[in-house]
Amino acid sequence: MKQKYIYSFGGGKADGNESMKNLLGGKGANLAEMAGHPNLRLPVPPGFTITTEVCTYYYDHKRTYPKGLTLDLGRALQQVEKLMKRKFGDPVNPLLVSVRSGARKSMPGMMETILNVGLTEKTIPGLIKHSGGNDRFVYDAYRRLIMMYSDVVMEKAAGVELEDEGAGIRRQLEHIMDRLKKQKGYRTDTDLKTEDLKELCVQFKSKIKEVLGKEFPDDPEKQLWGGIGAVFASWNGKRAISYRRIEGIPDEWGTAVNVQSMVFGNMGSDSATGVAFTRNPGNGDNKFYGEYLIDAQGEDVVAGIRTPAPVNEYSKSEHNKELITLEQGMPKLYKALFDIQRRLEKHYHDMQDIEFTIEKGRLFMLQCRVGKRNGHAAVRIAVDMLKEKLIDRETAIMRVTPDQLDELLHPIIDPKIEKEQKIFVKGLPAGPGGASGQVVFNALDAVEWTKQGKKVILVREETNPEDVEGMRAAQAILTARGGMTSHAALVARGWGKCCIVGCGKLHVDYKAKTLSSDGVTLKEGSWITLNGTRGNVYQGQLPMIDASSENSILANFLKVCDSVKKLGVRTNADTPEDAQAGRRFGAQGIGLFRTEHMFYGKGSEEPLFRLRKMIISKTVEERRRALDELYPYVKKDVKGTLEAMDGYPVVVRLLDPPLHEFVPRERGKLEELSRDLHITMDELASRAENLHESNPMMGHRGVRLGITYPEVSEMQIRAVFDAAAELIAEGKKPYPEIMIPVVGHVKELQDQFDIAKRVYREVLEKHKLKSIKHMLGTMIEIPRACIVSDQIAEIAQFFSFGTNDLTQMGFGFSRDDIGSFLPDYLVKTILPDDPFQTIDQEGIGELMKISIERGRKQRPNLEIGICGEHGGDPRSVDFCHRLGMDYVSCSPFRVPIARLAAAQAVLRQKALQTKTNRKSKPGNKSK
Ligand code: PEP
Ligand code: MG
């Protein structure tokens, strides 16, 4: 059978349908569905779609068309002529068409469109007659065609190189028009009279000849083929190519071309055009919502020259409340439109974005597609549609993206305002949401200014634990260095605070108290605004919107997710407050309690001082004394957290960071320490010097501390078991899981477990208990540990992947310095993503896979989780689900996102399974 290149639609029939997006593009498939599906058969202006296969052919055959296309097109055009009762190129009753692109996935504004094709000197009189003598309208349409055609077909598609963007033919024609308006004293385009427009058309044509060396084709056929060629050519235009790179759309897909009869909303006061949504895309209300303009073309609604009027009472706003609604002005047509939009939503089972035109009292549907919505609306619509039985549970879960959910959990910059801003500097999006504040350059000022009631952004070269108070006080944190798991990023995310790190272009001058980027310098006290979800920094104070209300809808939605997900979701929490926040967000336990965090921030003065004593001590006795002093603080912290998580597991990790991080830098603190230890400042300096390491992240940290200072591990383990024993006595159900970090060799772990087992026996005896429910396990964060996971699983009862360190050590990338070179890696697409943000599945992920296989082979009931930052990244959660882990753990504010991602992972896997089963059934050929 001859290959079919053209699919017609109109008159209640269509060759194609919605399922044919690959062949007809999104727009073409939807037009066919609207026009031809028995449930719809909507008044769509008739037309036809030239398939994406023709586009592929066009590029494979030196920009030529398949044989027979001209003939097919002629036939399809005849069909349209018949339905419209007009003829293309006919001087008496001419048909005009639009020529538009339409890829499988919408690429808004990236490709070309030409309207009013078929309008020529010859057909003008016919159109004037049809429009009831409205010659101004016709000449306006003609000058629009000339402008669009010369720009799109004669310049862009022809590959004319421009010296600068502003020198294009379109700009030149606009100059001519502006000059005329000025001469005549007109303010807007609508002031132009018929004679002016006629004159403009003449001038435009001669300018085109002068600049491009060719005549504007006053021939309908030529215009049509020129338009089709231009749309195909625009698939490989610069804009479209870069958009495809960003969105990951394959080059081979190609675009379809839609040729459709023109209908005009600008034929007088009985004509109009508008856009509408079947539900409010801003808040999800189940109300028809939209705007329209009388006597206007579609582009006028978007262009913002005139204020569009609301379609109904509900759509009224401050700006348009005085204008007449469509419901009042054209009640019959409104009713027809209202019915259509209900039918569309019912048919597509989703909120639709529709475009319509009224030509001389006749309603036409130009387009419908799934409507874009914000996070708030997405959740609301999913929950409502599920209740209305319009969709099932699975569909509801897949309707909300993790980013949309994130919008609900943090205030964000008003998107309308943000769109208009120029970015001051860009960095890595380390902590989500938006925040505004005045710039300060150190933690003390951050605290001080905040006390005075000011809002501040703490700007640092990089942060360290001493900045924590300032970080807590600030609205947001901005650093020039550091990666997604740098100190600032970890801390900020834990608090759900907005944070941007690794702004390579940012220069921070502490002395002058300035920050600069690209030649712009801001002083202390200047206002800046951060979008921590995207990593953008703006000058000035931008308005925020708080989307976090209406939590009952969110809670409902997450309950639906929980009914599907398999993975457990825990939280990383370092304080009892974090633990409570995690519980509120639905965490089923704690996946990582970093004990060292009790030494940062509020209330840390006393334990930190004792820790420092312990670090600086020289003999075992000195250290033991310091540890004895430290013990009650550790026990209290652990107890508070175990209590907050009563009944749920709490993974308590023993001290991990290199100790030098805790050595004080301020002179006052150093003096205090020397006094208390009864040593001179010189002696103190020399002991501190001994702690210096060239590469601390690979230095004396994690289990290595416990090996050299077993008493340090012993104190912590005792604190955990004692805390648990006390809680048992109080009738609680503590469940600690003691975790040893940075293990690479099974003997390191055995060494620590021996301590743990001895202390456990001692604690049982002390409290006269038979047992305390607990587990002993390890982090898997060193590549070697992955390989020898079978040996490790012989003694470990659980694994928790520390993917921050595993990425660091697997790639050999320092997690604190990656910000300086990562942007180059991303621009050059050496890496598709920041591996500290989303798991590098083929490398680091493979190590995890090996570890799980070997670990579970040795111990089938081995509990496996992840506590690196990736535990809150949706793509990584999906990966963890596929690896068969038991749980993911992430910062409290990411818990809802992980719950959604875990449910979506199940559904995605199910869909894949169904697809594979279908393919493997005999008789089914894979496509
Ligand atoms: C990790 O390495 O992934 C981890 C959770 O530990 P930390 O970030 O504290 O090193
Ligand atoms: Mg680690």
- DSSP per residue over 168-233, as a string? SHHHHHHHHHHHHHHHHT--SGGG--HHHHHHHHHHHHHHHHHHHSS-----HHHHHHHHHHHHHH
What are the DSSP calls for 856-905, one per residue? HHH-TT-EEEE-SGGGG-HHHHHHHHHHT-SEEEE-GGGHHHHHHHHHHH
In which band, very low, low, confident or very high, does the pLDDT at 927 lie, cut at 50, 70 and 90? very low
Q: Is the pLDDT of residue 318 over 80?
A: no
Measured in Å, residue 777 CA sits from the centre of ligand 1 at 15
pLDDT at position 484, please? 67
Q: Residue 694 is which amino acid?
A: S
Contacts of residue 352, defined as CB under 8 A and 6 or more positions apart, other chains included, come to 277, 278, 341, 344, 345, 368, 369, 370, 371
Q: Choosing from 410, 487, 597, 870, which is the catalytic residue?
A: 487
Tokens read off for 504: 């390579």
Nearest 5°: phi and psi at 325?
Answer: -80, 160
Ligand 1: residue of 653, 743, 779 to mutate (most ligand atoms within 8 A of CB) is 779
pLDDT at position 790, please? 98
Residue having the nearest C-alpha atom to atom 1 of ligand 1: 802
Measured in Å, residue 487 CA sits from the centre of ligand 1 at 11
Q: 27: alpha, beta or left, given left = phi > 0 and alpha = psi -120 to 50?
A: alpha
- CB distance 899 to 569 below 8 Å: yes
CA dist 912 → 401, 439, 561, 907, 909 (Å): 19, 49, 19, 9, 5
Cβ atoms within 10 Å, residue 38: 6
- CB distance 907 to 569 below 8 Å: no
Measured in Å, residue 580 CA sits from the centre of ligand 2 at 23
pLDDT at position 548, please? 53
Minimum mean pLDDT range among 485-494, 566-575, 635-644, 713-722: 485-494
Pairwise CA distance, residues 589 & 167, whole Å? 62
Bridge partners (DSSP) of residue 290 are 276
Measured in Å, residue 743 CA sits from the centre of ligand 2 at 10
Measured in Å, residue 839 CA sits from the centre of ligand 1 at 14
Measured in Å, residue 779 CA sits from the centre of ligand 1 at 9
Measured in Å, residue 783 CA sits from the centre of ligand 2 at 12
Bridge partners (DSSP) of residue 779 are 800
Helical packing angle, 135-149 and 220-234, nearest 10°: 50
Q: Choosing from 498, 499, 867, 880, which is the catalytic residue?
A: 867
Pairwise CA distance, residues 813 & 806, whole Å? 10
pLDDT at position 430, please? 79
- CB distance 727 to 639 below 8 Å: yes
In which band, very low, low, confident or very high, does the pLDDT at 302 lie, cut at 50, 70 and 90? low
Pairwise CA distance, residues 267 & 455, whole Å? 54
CA dist 299 → 105, 144, 275, 324 (Å): 22, 11, 11, 20
Instruction: Give the 3-state secondary structure of 6-32.
Output: EEEEECCEECCCHHHHHHHHHHHHHHH
> What proportion of the chain, given as a percentage, has pLDDT over 90?
69
Ligand number, closest to the Cα atom of 872: 1
pLDDT at position 631, please? 97
Ligand number, closest to the Cα atom of 801: 1
Ligand number, closest to the Cα atom of 485: 1
Burial grade of 67 (CB within 10 A; 0-12, 13-18, 19 or more): exposed
Please report the atom of ligand 1 found closest to the CA of residue 592.
5
- CB distance 320 to 306 below 8 Å: no
Contacts of residue 532, defined as CB under 8 A and 6 or more positions apart, other chains included, come to 410, 429, 430, 431, 432, 433, 434, 435, 476, 492, 498, 499, 500
The count of C-alpha atoms lying within 13 angstroms of the C-alpha of 345, restricted to the half-sphere facing its C-beta, is: 22
Burial grade of 464 (CB within 10 A; 0-12, 13-18, 19 or more): middle
- With 0.85 as the threshold, say if the pTM is over it: no
The more confident residue out of 297 and 725 is 725
> What proportion of the chain, given as a percentage, has pLDDT over 70?
97
CA dist 334 → 11, 23, 898 (Å): 22, 34, 43
- CB distance 425 to 480 below 8 Å: no
Active site residue 867: yes
CA dist 363 → 321, 351, 356, 357, 582 (Å): 24, 21, 7, 6, 53
Taking residues 712-724, report their average pLDDT: 97
Pairwise CA distance, residues 208 & 42, whole Å? 40
Highest mean pLDDT among 179-193, 230-244, 316-330, 899-913: 899-913
Residue having the nearest C-alpha atom to atom 8 of ligand 1: 804
3-class secondary structure, 362: strand
Measured in Å, residue 742 CA sits from the centre of ligand 1 at 9
Tokens read off for 170: 């379109």
Tokens read off for 199: 């004159």
Q: Is the pLDDT of residue 126 over 50?
A: yes
Measured in Å, residue 713 CA sits from the centre of ligand 1 at 18
Q: Which residues surround ligand 2, an ion (CB under 5 A)?
A: 781, 802, 805
Tokens read off for 131: 């429009």
Pairwise CA distance, residues 744 & 701, whole Å? 12
Measured in Å, residue 795 CA sits from the centre of ligand 2 at 20
Minimum mean pLDDT range among 296-300, 399-403, 850-854, 902-906: 296-300
Ligand number, closest to the Cα atom of 572: 1
pLDDT at position 598, please? 84
Strands 520-523 and 527-531: unpaired
Active site residue 498: no
- Ligand 1 interacting residues, C-beta cut-off 6 A: 485, 592, 594, 656, 781, 802-805, 867-868
Residue having the nearest C-alpha atom to atom 5 of ligand 1: 868
Minimum mean pLDDT range among 94-98, 235-239, 256-260, 700-704: 235-239
In which band, very low, low, confident or very high, does the pLDDT at 624 lie, cut at 50, 70 and 90? very high
CA dist 572 → 576, 594, 852 (Å): 11, 8, 21
pLDDT at position 485, please? 64
Mean pLDDT across the chain: 91
Measured in Å, residue 101 CA sits from the centre of ligand 1 at 48
Minimum mean pLDDT range among 39-53, 365-379, 520-534: 365-379
Ligand number, closest to the Cα atom of 703: 2
User: Scanning the structure block, which residue is given the tokens 């957290």?
Assistant: 641
Measured in Å, residue 797 CA sits from the centre of ligand 1 at 19
- CB distance 856 to 793 below 8 Å: yes
Pairwise CA distance, residues 201 & 198, whole Å? 5
Please report the atom of ligand 1 found closest to the CA of residue 594.
9
Q: Residue 832 is which amino acid?
A: P
Please report the atom of ligand 1 found closest to the CA of residue 485.
8
Contacts of residue 398, defined as CB under 8 A and 6 or more positions apart, other chains included, come to 904, 907
Contacts of residue 261, defined as CB under 8 A and 6 or more positions apart, other chains included, come to 10, 45, 46, 47, 80, 83, 84, 86, 95, 96, 97, 98
Taking residues 666-694, report their average pLDDT: 86
Q: Residue 7 is which amino acid?
A: Y
Q: What is the pLDDT of residues 453-472, one digit of tens each?
A: 899 999 998 887 778 888 98
pLDDT at position 924, please? 55
Taking residues 105-109, report their average pLDDT: 74
Taking residues 350-358, report their average pLDDT: 94
Nearest 5°: phi and psi at 88?
Answer: -65, 120
Measured in Å, residue 853 CA sits from the centre of ligand 1 at 22
3-class secondary structure, 376: helix
Strands 13-14 and 6-10: antiparallel
Taking residues 293-308, report their average pLDDT: 72
Q: Is the pLDDT of residue 547 over 60?
A: no
Nearest 5°: phi and psi at 132?
Answer: 75, 35
Please report the atom of ligand 1 found closest to the CA of residue 801.
3
Taking residues 787-794, report their average pLDDT: 98
| DSSP secondary structure code for residue 662 in this structure | G
Contacts of residue 644, defined as CB under 8 A and 6 or more positions apart, other chains included, come to 576, 579, 580, 583
Ligand 1: residue of 651, 739, 781, 876 to mutate (most ligand atoms within 8 A of CB) is 781
Pairwise CA distance, residues 333 & 35, whole Å? 18
